[in-house]
Structure 1
Amino acid sequence: MSDQYSDLRELYQEVIFDHNRHPRNFHAMDDASHRADGHNPLCGDQLTVYARVKNDLVEEVSFVGHGCAISTASASLMTEAVKGKSISDVEALFEDMHAMLTEKHPEARDFGKLEVLSGVREFPARVKCATLAWHTLHNAITQARDTARTE
């Protein structure tokens, strides 16, 4: 393994650990217009995603719950990435994130900080942890009534 790859992997791990220890936007939202619950029975991750959507724009997004480091970090990073975006942009990002985590990296997309989650694809059992928040946000945005599940 090259030193550059090792350094990059270490940086990615540090960002994930930071978002797990200090999750951003970790609170319930009383004035949310959209809300959904998510559960990963394999790992025990459970969360609720809240969004305030106005004029097709995600003005605010937050989450509460508990889970493993990857699940919490993914939810934290997700809230930062989608705040201020249109519903269509959020849905496109959801599709691209799902592809990055399960299939291959979409070449046309610059994921920014979300890139730190790309290594999860190497650990199939952890993919469900990383995608839970995204599936839950998708359910919130589309106002699906079912609990988002990764099984």
Structure 2
Amino acid sequence: MSFTNLETLYRQVIMDHYKNPRNRGAFDEESLSIDMNNPTCGDRIQIHLLVEDDMVKDAKFEGEGCSISLASASMMTQAIKGKTTKEALSMSEMFSDMMLGNDPDTSELDLGDSEALQGVAKFPARIKCATLPWKAMEKGMEA
């Protein structure tokens, strides 16, 4: 597949998550909820996590912002479900490395659709948009 076709595919994946977000909403039962915002561009995200026995049983999000931040939240909530808290934090570190233009080792943990955001690394002003949900999840796990 050519580079142009790959970029087009990634763009389509991002827009699909933005227009058809997965795991949008909140839980009826008590959950770990973390609010974060990016004052630079106005993105606001609230991550809701159901964590039991160091396992992410479920994850949802609410918020408003640009296509990158909302797509990233949708992708992240999908990727961390069923993972241990340690694995979820490792995935967040891998995602941050990817946003810095590095090629993270995804042989043990798969970032799922979040890998479609790797092109964001070319746009420094958008990196905070992509990492916002991941940073919120980290904040909640480390609390």
Mapped pair 1:111 → 2:111: yes
Give 1:33 deviation, angstroms. 3.0
Hey, what does 2:64 align to over in structure 1? 66
Hey, what does 2:32 align to over in structure 1? 34
Distance in structure 1 (CA, Å) of the matches to 2:100 and 2:138: 17
Change beyond 3 A, Cα 1:57–1:107: closer
Q: Gaps (5+ residues) in structure 2?
A: none
Distance in structure 2 (CA, Å) of the matches to 1:118 and 1:103: 8
Q: Gaps (5+ residues) in structure 1?
A: 144-151
Q: Is the 8 A contact 2:56 2:85 kept in 1?
A: yes
Aligned residue identity for 2:31: S
State the secondary structure of the residue aligned to 1:65. strand
Hey, what does 1:120 align to over in structure 2? 120
Hey, what does 1:5 align to over in structure 2? 3
Q: Is the 8 A contact 1:39 1:47 kept in 2?
A: yes
Distance in structure 1 (CA, Å) of the matches to 2:30 and 2:15: 28
State the secondary structure of the residue aligned to 2:23. coil
- 1:72-95 Cα shifts (integer Å, max 9, x gaps): 000000000000100000010011
Match 2:55 to one of 57, 62, 71 = 57
**% of aligned pairs identical?**
40
Change beyond 3 A, Cα 1:81–1:108: closer
Match 2:45 to one of 39, 47, 51 = 47
Please list, as runs of the form range in 1=range in 2, the aligned pairs for 1:9-24 lying within 5 A after superposition. Answer: 9-24=7-22
RMSD, aligned CA? 1.3
